[in-house]
Structure 1
Amino acid sequence: MKFYYQLTPALIGVTIALVQTKVAMALSPTEVNNIAKQITVLIQSKKPRYGSGVIIKKEGNTYTVLTAAHVVEVQDNYEIITPDGQRYALNYSSVKPMPGVDLAVAQFTSSQNYNLAKIGNSDSSTEGTAAYVAGFPAPTFAINQSVYTFSNGTITANASKPLRDGYALVYSNNTSEGMSGGAVLNEKGELIAVHGRADLDTKEIKTGFNLGIPINTFLRLSAKTGVDVGVSAPNTPVATAPKADDFFIQAGEKYQKRDYKGAIADYTSALKINPNFALAYNNRGLTHSVLGD
């Protein structure tokens, strides 16, 4: 098992997450929340636009934040609000979108010490394992400011063939607009994905089919784009045949596009591979009910 921890090289002044073999025990939701609260930031523009991000690196007084690219896609005067409530100007010239996926990094400068995310192995996050999402929902009529939110859930699929923009991890947590770019953590408090997409119900609450981009996707791209966080993606064997998770995530995408018959076909394909995929049974039944079957 890989265990990721922080190290501050005294000579070069860079703090990054490095890898060491060690057994890591599962943490309680409260313990994971304490970790998430210290690494998750609010990203706010003057327009205003709201999003979230995760602190992943420190070099000198420069911090690097990982977020969803759509959070910072419009050039504007953004601020990063850190866990201690301090506001820092986001250096927009530092924004680097990752090619082909909905991820970007950005930087801010501070002399304060902030915690960094521990990088996990997203390939190890399988159906039924714990997932926690942290972020800052946008203000609503009821709550007129963006307040840190932490949501419990479970992984429902981890596809080997991602959807458009790199989304491949599916989880059941309830999330809201503004939490895009926030951390998705495992039961050890490690960063396994960046949150970015989900459905909306009539109350504008994202629920059920939540999507994140696996952290291993970022690690594979970061080396190519000059964003060094000191961690390499594991050498996971490439799937040679479709997984049940691949059909499940495609079904969810088709359901969102109201291609209900296509969704049913994909749920059925997922169940042929994994007859014990309970959520695929449930969602196929719900889709049949939408069609009036």
Structure 2
Amino acid sequence: MYKHLTPALFSASVAISVMQSLPVRAIATTPTIPTAPISDSRSELLRQRIVTIETRAGQGSGAIVRHVGNTYTILTAAHVVSDLRNSSFSITTPDRQQYIVHPSDVKIAPNSLDLATITFQSDRDYAVAELGDSARIDRGKQVFIAGFHGKSLKFFPGTVVASSRQTQAKGYGLAFGSVDVLPGMSGGGLFTETGSLIGINGKSIGTTTGYVSAADSRDPKSPRPTPRIKPVSGLAIPINTFTQIATQLNLDIATTVPVSESAPLTADDLFITAQDKSEKGDYPGAIADYNRALTIDPKFLEIYFRRGIARSLTKDWPGAEADYTRAIAVDAEHPEAYLHRGSMRNIQSNWQGAKVDFNTAIYLNPHVAAAYLGRGFALCELNDCQHGIKDYDQAIVLDPNSAEAYNRRAFAYHRLGNNRNAIANYLTAAELYQKQGKDIDYLKTVAKIKQLVKG
């Protein structure tokens, strides 16, 4: 287990070799990611229209949008196929047939739009996606995201958060939430409830879970809490953006109402630009756009949650907490708002308030490791490390590769005077940090192990 550790850990690993009989917690296998609860007929309809794309750069997805003779056209995101380096790649169709595609069969959209088409020839009969009208997709509409993750085609339900009518950076004018977009799903389709293709999924937008990184906030040498980023929502390119430039890709596809570049800004437009600024790290700029959006549409309630995220990333903990409180006032069953507010309260040492928030977050969604991490931390600060350890156990069940969970559980054991279990958990945390390339966290954990071994 420890063969990848540096010599600095050798003496520590020897020192704990006697702990083979220790009741170290078992690590559960990663739970299967559930597919969306959609009907068999709808899932089959979507399944017949999505392909997987394998290039030297990795995996992506695409939607079949045209069939003429024996030539099929796939629409995908340009970044899926833009790094070909003059090499061929493969696509796999719904019937698991593989086709080799050459760079000459790929056309990249103009104007820096993150769109591309791929053509391939086949005598087989494949279904073609019906193109919808993305201009009719408004905020709050349910959509379905379809794409490949590994060899499995995944379907997830989501909700349109914003729909821009203006030309946005790289074409990303649709924001959707309530879904984690997995690696390999880029270029996949965004579908309506009736199965019409209204967008191409391209990228995830990050949000903070507000993890507290210090194992002991009472230790003046510990770093202040630092939020961690994980994707929880996504951006897609509206299908109307594609139909407007289809002729430039030598495709005869009916056009829709042109995307406007001069229409007055809407709250949705500003929401999209704020998301783009957040992705680039311009959180003050994102906050300014969110503020402007609220002056246009004060009832755009999702903005409070998103602005809270941006404020947390500028370390405006009280401002972020206030925004999450507004989001909860609007939607009392918003698990992420409770999760994030609990994190802000942990950072501000409001352990009891944090515990209450994490209790609610877990009640609303018991499958999020971050909620158990946050509550475990709060419980330990409330001198209840025994129950804190149980929360860390559950966090590890949900996320076996969470070095942070092992790190925190180690500290909880240390506070309870059980240094053997503390060292065992620190060793696992160190190994995970090293494998994940988190060198600073790795070295800090090594120092903790050496200190405990000497003590």
Q: TM-score band, normalised by the shorter chain? A: 0.7 to 0.9
Where in structure 2 are there 5+ consecutive unaligned residues?
1-36, 210-227, 319-455
Tell me the amino acid that sits aligned with residue 207 of structure 1.
Answer: V
Q: Alignment identity in percent?
A: 36
Instruction: Name 1:10's counterpart in structure 2.
Output: none
Tell me the amino acid that sits aligned with residue 256 of structure 1.
Answer: E
What is the Cα deviation at residue 278 of structure 1?
1.1
Tell me the amino acid that sits aligned with residue 125 of structure 1.
Answer: I
| 1:225 and 2:249 matched | yes
| 1:78 and 2:89 matched | yes
Per-residue deviation, residues 17-75 of structure 1 (Å, max 9, x unmatched): xxxxxxxxxxx932432221110000112x35211010111111111111111111122
- How far apart in 1 are the matches of 2:186 and 2:166? 21
Tell me the amino acid that sits aligned with residue 212 of structure 1.
Answer: A
| 1:268 and 2:274 matched | no
Alignment check: 8 A CA contact 1:174 1:205 kept: no
- How far apart in 1 are the matches of 2:126 and 2:181? 25
From 154, 170, 179, the counterpart of 1:165: 170
Instruction: Name 2:158's counterpart in structure 1.
Output: 153
- How far apart in 2 are the matches of 1:189 and 1:205? 29
What is the Cα deviation at residue 194 of structure 1?
0.7
Structure 1 residues 235, 262: closer, same or farther in 2, change over 3 A?
closer
Q: What SS class does the counterpart of residue 233 from structure 1 fall into?
A: coil
Alignment check: 8 A CA contact 1:177 1:205 kept: no
Instruction: Name 2:231's counterpart in structure 1.
Output: 206
Instruction: Name 2:105's counterpart in structure 1.
Output: 94
Alignment check: 8 A CA contact 1:216 1:233 kept: yes
Structure 1 residues 63, 178: closer, same or farther in 2, change over 3 A?
same
Tell me the amino acid that sits aligned with residue 170 of structure 1.
Answer: A
- How far apart in 2 are the matches of 1:180 and 1:56? 16
What is the Cα deviation at residue 232 of structure 1?
2.0
| 1:39 and 2:39 matched | no
Instruction: Name 1:60's counterpart in structure 2.
Output: 69
Pairing 1:175-214 to 2, within 5 Å after superposition = 175-200=181-206, 206-208=231-233, 210-214=234-238
Per-residue deviation, residues 211-265 of structure 1 (Å, max 9, x unmatched): 1111101101012332113x22136777621000111111112222232222111
Instruction: Name 1:142's counterpart in structure 2.
Output: none
Q: How many residues align?
A: 256
Structure 1 residues 286, 205: closer, same or farther in 2, change over 3 A?
closer
Alignment check: 8 A CA contact 2:205 2:235 kept: no
Q: What SS class does the counterpart of residue 138 from structure 2 fall into?
A: coil
Q: TM-score, normalised by structure 1?
A: 0.81
- How far apart in 2 are the matches of 1:244 and 1:29? 31
- How far apart in 2 are the matches of 1:236 and 1:90? 32
| 1:108 and 2:126 matched | no
Structure 1 residues 269, 147: closer, same or farther in 2, change over 3 A?
same
- How far apart in 1 are the matches of 2:61 and 2:83? 15
- How far apart in 1 are the matches of 2:280 and 2:182? 20
Per-residue deviation, residues 135-174 of structure 1 (Å, max 9, x unmatched): 112xxxxxxx431111110100111234321111111132
Coordinate RMSD, CA, aligned:
2.2
Greater fraction strand: 1
- How far apart in 2 are the matches of 1:96 and 1:271? 39
Alignment check: 8 A CA contact 2:135 2:165 kept: no
- How far apart in 2 are the matches of 1:248 and 1:278? 11
Q: What SS class does the counterpart of residue 196 from structure 1 fall into?
A: strand
From 251, 255, 274, the counterpart of 2:274: 251
Q: What SS class does the counterpart of residue 276 from structure 2 fall into?
A: helix
Instruction: Name 1:7's counterpart in structure 2.
Output: none
Q: What SS class does the counterpart of residue 103 from structure 2 fall into?
A: strand
- How far apart in 2 are the matches of 1:49 and 1:237? 34
Structure 1 residues 235, 221: closer, same or farther in 2, change over 3 A?
closer
Alignment check: 8 A CA contact 2:189 2:197 kept: yes
Q: TM-score, normalised by structure 2?
A: 0.53
- Worse-superposed segment, 191-200 or 281-290: 281-290
- How far apart in 1 are the matches of 2:303 and 2:260? 25
| 1:130 and 2:130 matched | no
Where in structure 1 are there 5+ consecutive unaligned residues?
1-27, 138-144
Greater fraction helix: 2
